[in-house]
Amino acid sequence: MSGFFTGNDYFLTTPAVLLALFGCGILLIDFLHEARHKFMNAVTALLGLGFTAYQLVRIQTQMDLQGRTELPGLHDSLLVDHFAIYFMLVCVSATFVAILISVRYLEIEREHHGEYYALMLFALLGMYFMLTGMDLVTLFIGLETMALSGYILAGFLRRDKRSNEGAMKYFLLGAFSSGLLAFGFSLLYGISGSTNLAAISQALAQRPPGDVLASLALLTTATGLLFKVAAVPFHQWAPDAYEGAPTSVTGFLSTAPKAAAFGFLIRIFLAGLFPMHLAWQPMLAMIAVASMTVGNLAAISQNNTKRLFAYSSISHVGYILLGLVAGNATGLQGINVYILVYAFMNLGAFTVLVALRRADIIGDEIEDLSGLYYRNPGAAVMMLIFLLALAGIPPTAGFLGKYFIFLSLIESQHYGLAIFATLYVAVALYYYMRMTAMMFMKEPASDEPLSMSPGIKIALGLTLVATLLIGIYPEPVIQLANAAILR
């Protein structure tokens, strides 16, 4: 064993080992906690996230000390670089906030079990290999580890029919997309004779333009990847899964797994399929336009806030894909910025929705926001800020993400796409303002206070500060995003 694994391999896999140990530890000690002490499982999970983040920073520091931008491991099946560490830290941060808002929610639902937090850590474990993998087998195992954890979390409310239905649809369509992705990977292996992305890229570069086998591999691989990020026309699972899942899980699924899926997609397209960029860039442009169109127009008619945010998320996928379509450094930097700010502003909005949950009120209908300003002015103002950020209004962090995407399109002379994307900002502002009007202009249906637990208060504080601070003083984030561009 010592001859197979080097000290460097152990060092690079430490974040994954920590997540696995803390996840298994939660499962082992859960039965020791009484019902009123179940929050200790969340504390254990947060400690695991802290140690994982510390180890990621250690790896980053080691790279800087050695003057390197990447560290390969496990016989080149793993590659830890600035890109992977940046995305992984975004996923860790999103999971941290999701755990904070879960404690009170699960208590109200009477489903406070240790496996909930363990599954979040196991999902994050899968994300690590999705972001660092340079081998098709490693990438696929990481993806399935994350996906299987997500399926279970989506159906965590076992007594809720909506939760069961949403989880089943998520599972079936997810399994179908995984099958397509595995078929695409098998074709890439057949073309190159290797599962390594660098070898696949070299083999594709030698194929003639319009090669049928290479085109089929691209089509099936892209379809599987676009299912994972819920891009149109592969988005059907998202609204039902978002609506049925526990609200805290919906916030988690819409941020951390989505960030990891985009990192996975970018790695595949730029490190493995780049020789075919003349074929996949126009395809992604059409999918981005379709995602913005369907996502924004469908969100207008939604009365359930989680379905509205699901379609909103689909439209944001379109914006992020435009950065890849631009194909320049500004576009890739814009994707990195967008992923980070979207995680904070979207989780902030979901934190307010979680606070609306009470014993007799689910809190996921737009009507449930009625008169929120009169019941809790602070929560209403914070929700307004998160909604403005999601729409891309300055000086919030959301504006920064859209700015770089639009700039990259202009620099790459995609003027039509830039104009089209800008127009949809107005559509998004309309349905976000529907929620705002409900909070500020309607009479409250109830005077019952919100479920403002310590975890929810901390989560609101973190997401609000990040949403405003990044928008007002963006320079540190811009530098981090620039350093994390996949070279």
Question: pLDDT tens, position by position, for the chain (487 residues)?
Answer: 445 778 888 899 999 999 999 999 999 888 777 767 777 889 999 999 999 999 999 999 999 888 888 889 888 889 999 999 999 999 999 999 999 999 888 888 777 788 999 999 999 999 999 999 999 999 999 999 999 999 999 988 888 788 888 889 899 989 999 999 999 999 999 999 999 999 999 999 998 888 899 999 999 999 999 999 999 888 888 898 998 888 899 999 999 999 999 999 999 999 889 999 899 999 999 999 999 999 999 999 888 899 999 999 999 999 999 999 998 899 999 999 999 999 999 999 999 988 887 655 666 788 888 888 888 889 899 999 999 999 999 899 999 999 999 999 999 999 999 998 999 998 999 999 999 998 998 887 777 777 788 889 999 999 999 999 999 999 999 999 999 998 7
Q: List the structure tokens of 154.
A: 């989506």
- Closest by Cα among 388, 391, 363 to 456: 363
Query: What's the pLDDT tens digit per position in 66-99?
Result: 888 888 988 888 999 999 999 999 999 999 999 9
Residue 359: predicted pLDDT = 55
- State the residue for tokens 């959301």: 398
CA distance 205 to 65: 35
Q: What distances in angstroms separate CA 252 from CA 31, 85, 90, one per listed residue?
A: 25, 19, 12
Cβ atoms within 10 Å, residue 62: 15
Supply the DSSP string of 357-377, one letter for each residue: --SS----BGGGGTTHHHH-H
Q: List the structure tokens of 14.
A: 């430490």
> How much is the mean pLDDT over the chain?
90
Return the amino acid letter for 318: G
* Burial class of residue 304 (count of CB atoms within 10 Å of its CB; 0-12, 13-18, 19+): middle
- Cα-to-chain-centroid distance, residue 340: 9
R_g of the chain, CA atoms, integer Å: 22
pTM over 0.75: yes
CA distance 431 to 343: 20
CA distance 238 to 43: 30
- Helices 377-391 and 454-472, interaxial angle, to 10°? 40
